[in-house]
Structure 1
Amino acid sequence: MKNSFNTIIDSNTPVLVDFFAEWCGPCKTLAPILKQVKEALGDDVKIVKIDVDKNQTLASKYNVRGVPTLLLFKNNQQVWRESGVLQKNDIINVINTHK
């Protein structure tokens, strides 16, 4: 997983990583919002979901202590991070800032 994750985030296109858990209520709230973000931005963003229970090493590498946590990467660099449920327009604004 780690090598493929590094390949995914090493992209000129912003990559939004959603650290989530199946049991997390707010994560379920965020899922359709992220789908709307993807529909709005299309190829301008990649969205990747990482289950923290199945990828504890990766979650711990990025100090993810609560879910949902969103991280935005560009060219293998973390450029933004936020925990909790965000609104569609807020997420789109952040991604557009880093395009």
Structure 2
Amino acid sequence: MAKKSIKEVISKSQEAIFVDFYADWCGPCHSMDPVISEVMNELDGKVKLLKVNVDKHPQLAQQFGIRSIPHYMLFKRGKILWRKGGIITKRDLSKSLKGFI
């Protein structure tokens, strides 16, 4: 079976998908990793995490208007429910995502 494209996963998933647009060289992106991990654990599988490296997927980043990283988007059934760029606190991220599940 062929691996699904990122776009296909986003558009067809019935579950909420949290997309983390990042790059390996991005310091703020690395500092957000433990925050995102903790929030995903708190949400106990209610939201799926999808990490997108903007250097490996520049067309996708351009398509979604990602101009700076880190940048986060929450999708459900292909629709954008929420988006935010930059550093975000664990409390704010958790509160934002819980509002959509």
Settle same-fold status: TM greater than 0.5. yes
> Which runs of 5 or more structure 1 residues have no equivalent in the other structure?
none
Write out per-residue CA displacement over residues 38-86 of structure 1, whole angstroms, 9 at most, x where no aligned residue.
1111211101110000100000000101000001101110111110011
> Which runs of 5 or more structure 2 residues have no equivalent in the other structure?
none
Return the alpha-carbon distance in structure 2 between the equivalents of residues 12 and 59 of structure 1: 22
1:11-50 alignment runs, 5 A limit: 11-50=13-52
The one-letter code sitting in structure 1 at the alignment partner of 2:34 is P
State, as a whole percentage, how many aligned pairs show the same letter. Answer: 34
TM (norm. structure 2) is 0.89
Higher helix share: 1
Return the alpha-carbon distance in structure 1 between the equivalents of residues 7 and 96 of structure 2: 21
TM (norm. structure 1) is 0.91
Please identify runs of 4+ aligned residues in structure 1 that moved more than 3 A: none
Give SS of 2:5's match: helix
Return the alpha-carbon distance in structure 2 between the equivalents of residues 97 and 12 of structure 1: 17
Return the alpha-carbon distance in structure 2 between the equivalents of residues 76 and 86 of structure 1: 24
Return the alpha-carbon distance in structure 1 between the equivalents of residues 39 and 73 of structure 2: 14
1:12 offset after TM fit, Å? 2.6
1:14-93 alignment runs, 5 A limit: 14-93=16-95
The one-letter code sitting in structure 2 at the alignment partner of 1:40 is E
1:35 offset after TM fit, Å? 0.6
Query: Cα RMSD between the aligned structures?
Result: 1.2
Kept in 2, the 8 Å contact 1:12–1:75? The answer is yes
Write out per-residue CA displacement over residues 6-40 of structure 1, whole angstroms, 9 at most, x where no aligned residue.
33223232111000011111001111111101111
Aligned residues: 97
The one-letter code sitting in structure 2 at the alignment partner of 1:84 is G
